[in-house]
Structure 1
Amino acid sequence: MELQQLRYVVAVAETNSFTRAAERCLVVQSALSHQIARLERELGARLFERTSRRVRLTPAGAAFLPAARQCLDAAERAAAEVAAAVGEVRGRLALGTIPTVTAVDLPRALREFRGRYPHVRISLRVGGSDDLVAQVKEGTLDVAFLGLPTTARLDGVASCELLRDRLLAVVAPDHPLAGEPSVTLRRLAGEVFVDLPAGTAGRAQSDLAFAAAGLVRDVAFEVTTADFIGRLVEQGLGVAMLPAAYAPQLTGVVTVEVADAAARVEHVTWSASGPTPAATAFLDVLGITR
């Protein structure tokens, strides 16, 4: 079994095509097909079902794929560790972030990092805190920026608290609350809400606050991004609660202080087994000690 064979398997699985996989791997399709067939003979099982219309993983292939990715990641990290030992940072840096991160100016940090370490390949994913933590645990992400309720616990990863913030009410300019200096959760409970999907860490920050106050609210619109929440609020479809530090990025809406506001904490997290050389260098750029 060779690393190149594993790369071919992952490429076919991700593209669902031998042709596109060969293009990605910069190899002729016949060579790629030959190497996968050779690997299948060695394993004694077919990894892909091939028809004239599609390619898909067999049950054996689905079982093999995660281990193949882990082997490739381990090989890449081994090469990066050797490079770091002789004073060079290279390899990959896979970052994840929530849309509302404010504790770090991520574009500026990436610019500085790229200037120092031009040989590192960087990817950035935006998502919810729960998904990002899971990806750090499985090694898909090297570093992730999260926003969580103050009661949340981070298990199975290393982390550092970056910022404590509070939630503000966000309303349309012509909303009756727009001219108020502050509002309470009880007053807000009578409004229709726009919020993140139920079960997400961002949604939990508001849900826990209302539940602790013994209040029930109506969330009529669930969307996955904070900027789209603001756009729906601007149209008068509901009110929302968003982080105070994120509020200056909103346009077309009015923010109102919440006297008994929910709190949130922004964290940066990385693998419990220790950051990769590239992740270590990126955390150093941010001034984060481990």
Structure 2
Amino acid sequence: MLFMTSISIQDGSVELQQMRYVVAVAETNSFTRAAERCLVVQSALSHQIARLERELGARLFDRTSRRVRLTPAGAAFLPTARQCLEAAERAAAEVAAAVGEVRGRLAVGLISTAAAVDIPGALRDFRQRYPQVRISLRVSPSEELIERVEQGAIDVAFCGLPTAAWPRGVDARELARDRYVAVVAPDHPLAEEPVVDLRRLSSEVFVDLPANTAGRAQSDQAFAAAGLSRDVAFEVTTAYLIARLVGHGLGVAVLPAAYAPQLTGVTTIEVSDAPARVEYVIWSRAGRTPAATAFLTLVGVPGL
């Protein structure tokens, strides 16, 4: 008898392919899209899931003409299915590494203002060197990246935190320290100023990242420490959108100085009492896959 969370299987076995099908349906909320992702006909995918449900003695999905959703049994089965698939991928990658090959997957995460490493260039070089590794990329706030690395969903991530913070629950290396600059439209009254301070900026309307994100916290903490309040009228999820809104004169922003050269259509100004951040590269404390180790080596992470 094999136990999986609250589900038991008697006189049967669960195949990895069946687990892949369950995960695909759960993530797409569709048998049709799941079949397309898994490169099989829908009838074959449906047959395998129905077979698995018979072996488990429980339905994994509620199906209607409009939607597909996990049952309580399916929600219990899904985390273990993901863990089994990840373990199988890791095992295959370790075997390949033992004979001198790097294969498997490399899931990379980054914040939109990452600047310490040329990540697109590094991914290009990595793919050329290790063509058998499947690469994926996710852009998310730092706190989400840290959580997903800790859970094993992302292998390597590049995040930024205030100088007093540290990525908890993961292994990390500091890559760079950076100060923020003000970002304004080219025709803004401040655009000709060589330097400003937070008090002068606090009278402006701001464009910033969403509240309760690490990127937003760095600027919020700096203004609060100076005894200042500000009006954040526009909250967006990427630095690209921040720059677009600033360029159209809808507000001002503060962004990392190392990232500022990538911006177009805006003017940057030194801030005398600017907040600072630290960029980190992080990976799971549970260990690195061969692909993750190869990628970290390629980008020159110190102290591996």
- What's the counterpart of residue 201 of structure 1? 214
The alpha-carbon deviation at position 4 of structure 1 amounts to 1.2
Listed as ranges, the gaps of 5+ residues in structure 1 are: none
Listed as ranges, the gaps of 5+ residues in structure 2 are: 1-13
Distance 2:211 2:127 in 1: 37
Q: Is residue 84 from structure 1 mapped to residue 97 from structure 2 by the alignment? A: yes
Q: Is residue 267 from structure 1 mapped to residue 296 from structure 2 by the alignment? A: no
- What's the counterpart of residue 165 of structure 2? 152
Distance 2:40 2:254 in 1: 51
Distance 2:139 2:100 in 1: 31
1:111/1:59 CA distance change after superposition, 3 Å: same
Distance 2:230 2:25 in 1: 47
> 1:36-75 residue pairs with structure 2 within 5 A?
36-75=49-88
1:22/1:175 CA distance change after superposition, 3 Å: closer
The alpha-carbon deviation at position 61 of structure 1 amounts to 0.8
1:285/1:29 CA distance change after superposition, 3 Å: same
The alpha-carbon deviation at position 16 of structure 1 amounts to 2.2
The DSSP-based 3-state class of the residue aligned with 1:176 is coil
- What's the counterpart of residue 10 of structure 2? none
More moved, 141-150 vs 244-253: 244-253
The alpha-carbon deviation at position 58 of structure 1 amounts to 0.9
Residue 28 (structure 1) aligned to one of 41, 48, 57: 41
The alpha-carbon deviation at position 30 of structure 1 amounts to 3.0
The alpha-carbon deviation at position 96 of structure 1 amounts to 0.4
Distance 1:54 1:177 in 2: 53
The DSSP-based 3-state class of the residue aligned with 2:136 is strand
- What's the counterpart of residue 112 of structure 2? 99
The alpha-carbon deviation at position 17 of structure 1 amounts to 2.4
1:172/1:28 CA distance change after superposition, 3 Å: closer
Q: Is the 8 A contact 2:122 2:298 kept in 1?
A: yes
The alpha-carbon deviation at position 31 of structure 1 amounts to 2.8
Deviations 1:24-65 (A, max 9, x none): 323333332222122212222110112233322112112211
The alpha-carbon deviation at position 248 of structure 1 amounts to 1.0
Residue 187 (structure 1) aligned to one of 196, 200, 208: 200
Q: Is residue 233 from structure 1 mapped to residue 246 from structure 2 by the alignment? A: yes
Distance 1:20 1:200 in 2: 32
1:27/1:229 CA distance change after superposition, 3 Å: closer
The alpha-carbon deviation at position 258 of structure 1 amounts to 0.5
- What's the counterpart of residue 289 of structure 2? 276
1:38/1:241 CA distance change after superposition, 3 Å: same
Q: Is residue 245 from structure 1 mapped to residue 258 from structure 2 by the alignment? A: yes
Amino acid at match of 2:103: R
Deviations 1:84-137 (A, max 9, x none): 111110000000011111100112111211121110000011111111111101
Q: Is the 8 A contact 2:179 2:277 kept in 1?
A: yes
Distance 2:109 2:75 in 1: 25
Distance 1:52 1:239 in 2: 48
Q: For this pair of structures, how many residues does the alignment match?
A: 290
- What's the counterpart of residue 123 of structure 1? 136
Distance 1:29 1:165 in 2: 51
Distance 1:176 1:20 in 2: 52
The DSSP-based 3-state class of the residue aligned with 2:88 is helix
Amino acid at match of 1:64: F
The alpha-carbon deviation at position 240 of structure 1 amounts to 0.6
Distance 1:187 1:162 in 2: 31
Amino acid at match of 1:257: E
Distance 1:58 1:259 in 2: 56
The DSSP-based 3-state class of the residue aligned with 2:59 is coil
Q: TM-score, normalised by structure 1?
A: 0.96
> Percent identity, aligned pairs only?
77
Deviations 1:59-85 (A, max 9, x none): 211221121111101110011011111
1:74/1:250 CA distance change after superposition, 3 Å: same
1:47/1:190 CA distance change after superposition, 3 Å: same
